[in-house]
Structure 1
Amino acid sequence: MQPKIGINSEHLAAVAHSLSQLLADEFVLYTKTKKAHWNVEGPDFYNKHLFFEQQYTQLDDIVDTVAERIRMLGHYAPGTLKEYLELTHLSETSPEKNDSLSYIRQLLADHESIMIHLRENINRYAATLKDLGTSDYITGLMETHEKMAWMLRAHLK
């Protein structure tokens, strides 16, 4: 049943598709962060193992809320690896080394890519697609990514 929330069905579909791309990006980033948690090596192993765990836990929550936002708009969230790989803007490449700085650089670049995508869509959701709720939601999500990126960036100083 289509929600009757003051947004026409074409706009709901456009927002849901855009959020599906975001969901794919978030899931790929979650997976890459989990890989860093599992495979990081070096003298800072224990600290970075815990740090990456904190980050992937946050990303797990984000994945869930993005999927739920898609459902709130009356659409189904993608949920297969095939769908995610078709929708994502991110690359599935791995760093050459399993040291913390290599993982941090890669994860930081992915967070920054997601932030750019979010920033590009905030006004589009509100003005063009008439979805202030999603615009507000992704503004908060962008702020979460900004903080996570800051935490990663601080390791590179």
Structure 2
Amino acid sequence: MAKKEASSNHGRISAQPRLHQRASEIQAYGTVNHLLPLELEEPVRLEMTAQLNQLLADTMTLRDLYKKSHWQVAGPTFYQLHLLFDKHFDEQVELVDAIAERIQLLGGVSLAMAADVAETTQIERPPRGREEVPVQLSRLLDAHQIIIRDSRKLASRAVKLGDDGTNDLVVSEVLRTNELQVWFLSEHLVEMPLVKAEDPSLRLPKSA
């Protein structure tokens, strides 16, 4: 009877979790699914996903640099920059998701893990400790410059290869977001007196 019950339970769905599972990759990094009906040749999609992954790695690094700056900022502009850095972080999070999904849509494999991003990014790694506000801002602007430079190249290349979707993503979202963030950051590096004008022609005459 026991044998009969055991055999009847064979193949049933169980509520018990099957832990510690491992298997071979279902798709290797650096490849694309060649069966997708996207009307884009495989070499085009290979090139686009490779460049998008570089853009993704740099965008993920910039995203994290914003969060580091948000946590570690100090000084009289703490409140304003604390909020601004977090706002820019949220906007970069959205770009990361959009770029990664574009890579997957093209049949590629997007970077995902921090270690892989660190090996790939072109952005200089900051120290673990806190830095002055001008240095934080300069690091962020340097990172933006790398992304903007590569975005322009990628957008132009996508047009030549007929990948209108990638061009639209890079121009409409990545490029415009980064340009706007550069504007907000760079204005904080203008040397401007806060409470006293420095123009000698506006000084009041000394009393006799």
TM-score of the aligned structures, taking structure 2 as reference length: 0.71
Q: Which residue of 92, 97, 109 maps to 2:125? A: 92
Verify: 1:130 aligned to 2:130, yes or no. Answer: no
Contact 1:95–1:106 under 8 Å retained in 2? no
Cα RMSD of the aligned pairs, angstroms, is 1.6
Q: Which has the higher relative contact order, 1 or 2, with Cα contacts under 8 A spaced 6 or more apart?
A: 1
Aligned structure 1 segments of 4 or more residues deviating by more than 6 angstroms: none
Indicate the percent of aligned positions where both proteins have the same amino acid: 29
Q: Residues 41-52 of structure 1 correspond to what in structure 2 (within 5 A)?
A: 41-52=74-85
Q: Residues 68-107 of structure 1 correspond to what in structure 2 (within 5 A)?
A: 68-94=101-127, 98-107=131-140
Q: Residues 139-154 of structure 1 correspond to what in structure 2 (within 5 A)?
A: 139-140=171-172, 141-154=174-187
Matched residue count: 156
* Structure 1 unmatched runs, 5+: none
CA distance in 1, matches of 2:42, 2:49: 10
Match of 2:189 in 1: 156
Q: Which has the higher helix share?
A: 1
Counterpart code for 2:60: F
* TM-aligned CA deviation for residue 43 of structure 1: 1.6
Which structure is larger by alpha-carbon Rg, 1 or 2? 2
Contact 1:37–1:53 under 8 Å retained in 2? yes
CA distance in 2, matches of 1:14, 1:82: 23
Contact 2:151–2:171 under 8 Å retained in 1? yes
